[in-house]
Amino acid sequence: MDMVPVVVRSASHVSAYRYLDHRHGTSPRFQVRAKLPFEQQDAKYYQHLEAAVHVVQRACRLCLHVKSSLFSTDANVHQKNDQTPVTVADFGVQALISFELNKLFPSIPLVAEEDSAYLRSRNLAGSVLDAITAIDSPTSKPLTQDDVLEAIDRGGKDAFLFGSEPATYWVLDPIDGTRGFVKAGKALYVVGLALVVEGEIVAGVMGCPNWQEDFSKKSPTELEEVADMLSPSGTIMIAHIGCGTWTKRLNSMPKLPSVWTRCFVDGSNLVQKAHFCIPDSQTWESLPLSSSFNATNNVDDVGDNQVLLLAACCGSLCKYLMVASGRASVFILRAKEKTIIKAWDHAVGMICVHEAGGKITDWSGSEIDLAADQAGRRVIFPFGGVLVTNGCLHHQILEIISHSTTSSL
């Protein structure tokens, strides 16, 4: 990789570094040492994003704490009524983030995945409280089990009734990819938090505690130089409307100072050269692109009529993270009958991809309407499915989808 560093200065005299990355031609990488990588006067929701970053980092520490004890006992893993797994960490993260946001922004409601009914029915509030207090206490006074239950329900389905008017609220997925979280392997999971103002997503944070840097294109010499980074370091990705998408290491080391790096989607402009990811519950053959291309997981042997399908378990937000960071070119999801698509599985990913230069629509090319569920803002209804791309490929893939759909009628 041939990168030329250029030192620049921001208005607040925070050191910044710009790297001209010749692999991407005109897309430079920026690195900044600061709380947030842009000036407060340039970001209307700076304080909201700063608070969100802080609490998501704490939530990631809670996840790591719970995960470390997950395999010593199965008491931390449970099944919800829809047969999806849920852990003490899911509830702990929602309670922790709810506490903090309500303290700082009490007038902004929270739309989140969990409610306390399951905890109450199984008397598990104490376990969640223990998980929260094991990392730190979000308030000045000792928390109680009632505090935990109340905080969780602040984001529950009955907590707030919206209407047809554009609304302002937080959207939280406490752990997207719980199936991955409960696995002993390297399956990814994400804490995702977004701020919606008057119907528009304006800021967001994703924390992925077990994300690992992509070293596949580095030479042996370069790998020696970054040997300390070969273990999963985790990542925090942020986006603010008009300010771009940025990442930094979640778990910093003394030799590796924590810096913000500007993210851009990849530059692929040919479908057959793109890197795809799809939901874990869907197959390539179930998607309309399969009528034009076969898929392979073998990065070293992609045929003329094949595309590369990246393995990425679990959840949707890690796929958005991959597209926004340039590791994947496309994430495509089919809207299946009787399957509800939740807003928290997409909201923060949408702004991260958009600010990195990508595009998100449904399969008809229409923007995703977060207000379609007028009462709760909890469900989205994308026609056909969700298409997330680097932007260059979007129209081409929409045309393939349209042609495939027309041919099958």
Q: Tell me, what CATH number does 304's domain have?
A: 3.40.190.80
* Res 136: pLDDT: 74
Catalytic positions: 90, 178
Which long-range contacts (C-beta less than 8 Å, at least 24 apart) are formed by 140-148? 143/99, 147/95, 147/99, 148/91, 148/95, 148/116, 148/119
216 plus 78 within the same structural domain: yes
Residue 241 annotated as part of some ligand binding site: no
| Structural tokens at position 58 | 């704490």
With respect to residue 246, please indicate whether it lies within any of the assigned structural domains.
yes
Q: Which residue has the tokens 């990631």?
A: 60
With a pLDDT cut of 90, the percent of the chain lying above it is 64
Q: Which residue has the tokens 């600061």?
A: 34
Give 343's DSSP letter. Answer: G
- pLDDT of 1 over the 50 cut: no
174 plus 251 within the same structural domain: yes
Residue 176 annotated as part of some ligand binding site: yes
Question: Model confidence at 68, in pLDDT bands (50, 70, 90)?
Answer: confident
With respect to residue 14, please indicate whether it lies within any of the assigned structural domains.
no
With respect to residue 109, please indicate whether it lies within any of the assigned structural domains.
yes
* Res 329: pLDDT: 98
With respect to residue 22, please indicate whether it lies within any of the assigned structural domains.
no
Residue 200 annotated as part of some ligand binding site: no
* Res 67: pLDDT: 85
368 plus 226 within the same structural domain: no
* Res 69: pLDDT: 78
Question: Model confidence at 212, in pLDDT bands (50, 70, 90)?
Answer: confident
197 plus 293 within the same structural domain: no
With respect to residue 165, please indicate whether it lies within any of the assigned structural domains.
yes
Domain around 193: 40-262
With respect to residue 33, please indicate whether it lies within any of the assigned structural domains.
no
First to last CA, the chain: 48
With respect to residue 18, please indicate whether it lies within any of the assigned structural domains.
no
232 plus 335 within the same structural domain: no
231 vs 352: CA distance, rounded Å? 25
* Res 3: pLDDT: 36
- pLDDT of 223 over the 60 cut: no
234 vs 210: CA distance, rounded Å? 5
279 plus 257 within the same structural domain: no
With a pLDDT cut of 70, the percent of the chain lying above it is 79
Q: Is 175 helix (H, G, I), strand (E, B) or coil?
A: strand
- pLDDT of 290 over the 70 cut: yes
308 plus 289 within the same structural domain: yes
With respect to residue 25, please indicate whether it lies within any of the assigned structural domains.
no
Q: Are 77 and 182 in contact (CB under 8 A)?
A: yes
| Structural tokens at position 140 | 């000045």
* Res 11: pLDDT: 35
Q: Tell me: the pLDDT tens digits for 78-104?
A: 665 554 557 889 999 999 999 999 999
Q: Which amino acid appears at position 118 of this protein?
A: Y
409 vs 400: CA distance, rounded Å? 14
Our CA angle for 22, 262, 266, nearest 5°, is: 55
| Structural tokens at position 375 | 């009462």
* Res 383: pLDDT: 96
Mean pLDDT within 122-145: 84
91 plus 65 within the same structural domain: yes
191 plus 324 within the same structural domain: no
Q: Tell me: the pLDDT tens digits for 170-187?
A: 999 999 987 777 776 678
95 plus 224 within the same structural domain: yes
- Domain-terminating residue out of 230, 262, 294: 262
Number of domain units in the chain: 2
288 plus 192 within the same structural domain: no
| Structural tokens at position 275 | 């890197």
* Res 408: pLDDT: 60
Kindly report the backbone phi and psi dihedral angles of residue 263, in degrees, each rounded to the nearest multiple of 5, phi listed first: -105, 145
How many helices (H) and strands (E) in the chain?
10, 20
240 compared with 303, residue with greater pLDDT: 240
279 plus 367 within the same structural domain: yes
Q: Tell me: the pLDDT tens digits for 360-393?
A: 999 999 999 999 999 999 999 999 999 999 999 9
- Domain-terminating residue out of 262, 294, 325: 262
- Domain-terminating residue out of 243, 262, 281: 262
| Structural tokens at position 59 | 């939530």
Output the domain CATH number for residue 158: 3.30.540.10
* Res 83: pLDDT: 45
Q: What is the mean pLDDT of the chain?
A: 84
- pLDDT of 271 over the 60 cut: yes
Q: Which amino acid appears at position 337 of this protein?
A: E
